[in-house]
Amino acid sequence: MSKYHHVLVDNQPSGVTVITMNRPEKRNALNHTLALELQQAFIEFDQDDTRMVAVLTGAGDDAFSAGADLHDFPTELWRGVLNVGAQTDKPVIAAVSGWCIGGALVMAMMADMIVASTSAKFYYPEAKVGFTGGLIAGLAARLPHHVAMEVILLCRILDAQRAHQLGFVTDVVPVGDQLKTAIAMAEELTTMAPLVHRTLKRFIYDEVVNRGPSETMARTLFDLRKLEASHDMKEGFAAFREKRAPVYLGK
């Protein structure tokens, strides 16, 4: 299943990967470890050619995630956010039940589709808490503008039925059925042409869906941190010190 502490990864025979935030005793609150593990799980999913579609969910039906753990705050929460700290052109579905708060709402909105149980509640209370990382600005590209501002500025809860009516949620199902429904949807996707999916998803996210400044900054940080950790950067520095020609591997 999984080598991680707070994340479960289930690579199913169908080509579907289920990635589960697994801190049920904390309502899957996002701490530093969980953010880093989500990033790595999605990077590995993207790099594995046998994996076609991912489903992101939270352990239990009470909460997809209660958002940032204020007792173990993830200073680089962006690392665990899909298509920010971990980027993929493969389809991703979020299966949401219960509370989906703060950074978890950002994670859900970055998915390509959302299956929500009737108990799902999307909530962004950062204006009450006094902090924001700014990634939530992308919600205005996924909801009607004034509804997005209601959620972001007034901290109003968006329930599953209203979210569905507004087109934010793909499907609403009974509590406990959200993961099963999302997996069935993912398995349907695996029967279709993956190159078409990836091409269209790239067109949509590169040219149609607007990114906020925090999302752009985080994606830039991801690329720069990847370069800093690369073989080629270390090789270039070593070659300079050793007064020799570098041998670059493109990785």
pLDDT band at 182 (very low <50, low <70, confident <90, very high): very high
High-pLDDT (> 90) share of the chain, %: 76
Residue that the structure tokens 């200073």 belong to: 75
Res 194: pLDDT: 95
Least confident of 117-126, 171-180, 215-224: 215-224
Least confident range from 5-14, 43-52, 227-236: namely 227-236
- The span from the CA of 108 to the CA of 100, in Å, is 8
User: What's the chain's Rg over C-alpha atoms?
Assistant: 19
Residue 250 or residue 155, greater confidence: 155
Per-residue pLDDT, 58:
98
Q: Which string of DSSP letters, residue by residue, matches 159-226? A: EHHHHHHTTS-SEEE-TT-HHHHHHHHHHHHTTS-HHHHHHHHHHIIIIISPPPHHHHHHHHHHHHHH
Whether 25 shows a pLDDT value over 70: the answer reads: yes
Give the residue-averaged pLDDT of 53-63: 97
pLDDT given for residue 217 in this prediction: 74
74 with 31: CB under 8 angstroms? yes
Number of other residues whose CB lies within 10 A of the CB of residue 173: 19
Point out the least confidently predicted range of 38-42, 80-84, 101-105: 80-84
2 band by pLDDT with thresholds 50, 70 and 90: low
The model's pLDDT over 70-99, given as tens digits with 9 standing for 90+, comes to: 899 998 899 999 988 888 999 999 999 999
pLDDT(1) > 60: no
Mean pLDDT, to the nearest integer, of 198-221? 83
Average pLDDT over residues 30-42: 96
Structure-model confidence comparison of residues 242 and 215, the more confident one: 242
With contact defined as beta carbons under 8 Å apart, do 115 and 197 qualify?
A: no
Give the pLDDT score at 235: 85
| CA nearest neighbour of 134 among 36, 216, 39, 33 | 216
Residue of 190, 231, 7 whose CA lies nearest to 93: 190
Kindly report which listed range (33-37, 53-57, 167-171, 218-222) carries the lowest average pLDDT score: 218-222
- Assign 114 a pLDDT band (cuts: 50, 70, 90): very high
What is the rounded average pLDDT of the residues 51-64? 97
Neighbours of 174 (CB within 10 A): 11
- For residue 31, the number of C-alpha atoms closer than 13 Å in the C-beta half-sphere is 14
Quote the mean pLDDT of the chain: 93
Q: What is the CATH T-level fold of the domain 7-192, as seen in this structure?
A: 2-enoyl-CoA Hydratase; Chain A, domain 1 (3.90.226)
Give this prediction's pTM: 0.88
Alpha helices, DSSP H only, in the chain? 32-47, 103-110, 126-129, 145-153, 160-165, 178-189, 194-203, 213-228, 231-242
